[in-house]
Chain A
Amino acid sequence: MPRIVFLALVVLISGVATGDVADVYDFEDRAQEQRYQNLIAELRCPKCQNQNIADSNAPIARDMRDEVYRMMKDGAGNEEIVESLVGRFGEFVRYKPEFDSRTFLLWATPVITVFGGLLAVAVVIIRSRRAGAEGSVLSVEEKARVDRMLADKEQDRTS
């Protein structure tokens, strides 16, 4: 009996959990739905600036989702849909901005950083190699000193 009460409670409580963004759209197949989800995850909400329109429940994000859905139903391609929203709200709504002169640094920074790091490592290695090669050559005095030290050691052991 207590188990049934417990189960009933679980069922009752679990009903409370619902998503924030609950639009209902019909898709022809799984692939189309996936395409829609990818698109709205890539578009940024102009009102809630750190959310994509899939996440945001701002009215404008809703309108944008509706527009994406409507254009998809009309057979528009991904690029066409994104362009139409960029035309209204600006480059800002792209989470993946186009590669051009303004976004050059944004895209190139990782490459520049990695390249710079490799360069630094290469310089350090080359320098230490060169220093190592030079260091192995002993001057005459040094060689004499080493011989003396080794000879002393030999003496210690035999005595």
Chain B
Amino acid sequence: MKRFLLFLPLLVAVVIGVVLFAGIGKDPTKLESALIGKPVPEFGLQELRNPDTMLDQSLFRGRVTLLNVWGTWCPACRDEHDDLMWLAEEKGVPIIGLNYKDNREDALVWLDRLGDPYREIIYDPRGTLGFDLGVYGAPETFIIDAGGVVRYRHVGVINETVWEQALQPVINELQGKG
């Protein structure tokens, strides 16, 4: 018993060490979305390219989609744009855009210049839908299933690695089910 007590501090140190070590390398700025498993919030917003078209949450029904939050003010969105084009053109992934806290003219110029990977683009200049989705920094990308339920969120730039390791497995699983 006495001997065991001598080793107690070592034991405590090892346990604390293991717990702290497990935290190293985790990115604390990536938060899991509070909306996972919940339907896309209700909204009624214009389409970016056709102001006469009103979009709402029924947009996400019927197929698995990517919802990509972007804005021309966001440098990282520029970085991922080529990869979004690649996803839309090579992989045939349906991407819905959410133009977040931006203005229409700038956004249209951007799409003209860089290409347009989006099936539809929700125009959200005041960031209301973004706020309801818990967007705290563009770019963010959500995976929405065929029933309009949020299944996954990726915060940050999308590239080939992110697609292969994070997004594609989730999408494959969802499409396998439906």
Q: Tell me the number of A-to-B contacts counted with CB atoms below 8 Å.
A: 35
A89 in contact with B34 given A46-B136, A59-B101 (CB within 8 Å)? yes
Contact A88 B29 (CB under 8 A): no
Contact A92 B132 (CB under 8 A): no
Write out the residue numbers on chain A whose beta carbons fall within 8 Å of the beta carbon of B137: 47, 60
Tell me, rounded to whole Å, the shortest Cβ–Cβ distance linking A58 to chain B: 8
CA distance A90 to B150 in the complex (A): 14
Contact A90 B34 (CB under 8 A): yes
Binding site of B, secondary structure by majority: helix, strand, loop or mixed?
loop
Write out the residue numbers on chain B whose beta carbons fall within 8 Å of the beta carbon of A98: none
**Per-position 1/0 for A42-67, Cβ under 8 A of B:** 00001101000000001110010001
Which residues 25-48 of B sit at the A interface, judged by CB distance below 8 A? 28-29, 31-35
Tell me the count of chain A residues lying within 8 A, CB to CB, of chain B. Answer: 15
Tell me, rounded to whole Å, the shortest Cβ–Cβ distance linking B83 to chain A: 23
Which residues 125-141 of B sit at the A interface, judged by CB distance below 8 A? 127, 131-137
Which residues 59-77 of A sit at the B interface, judged by CB distance below 8 A? 59-60, 63, 67
Contact A88 B28 (CB under 8 A): no
Contact A88 B32 (CB under 8 A): no
Neighbour of A87 across the interface among B28, B34, B127, B136, CB < 8 A: B34
Contact A60 B136 (CB under 8 A): yes
Contact B34 A49 (CB under 8 A): no
The size class of the interface chain B forms with chain A is: 10 to 19
Write out the residue numbers on chain B whose beta carbons fall within 8 Å of the beta carbon of A67: 131
Say whether A112 faces chain B, with CB atoms less than 8 Å apart: no
**Per-position 1/0 for B126-163, Cβ under 8 A of A:** 01000111111100000000000000000000000000
Say whether A118 faces chain B, with CB atoms less than 8 Å apart: no
Write out the residue numbers on chain A whose beta carbons fall within 8 Å of the beta carbon of B132: 88
CA distance A59 to B29 in the complex (A): 16
CA distance A58 to B135 in the complex (A): 13
* Given A49-B29, A58-B136, A90-B33, 7 new contacts (CB under 8 A): A49-B28, A60-B135, A60-B136, A88-B133, A88-B134, A89-B31, A90-B34
**Sample (10) of A-B pairs whose CB atoms are under 8 Å apart:** A47-B137, A49-B28, A60-B137, A63-B127, A67-B131, A87-B34, A88-B134, A89-B136, A90-B32, A90-B34
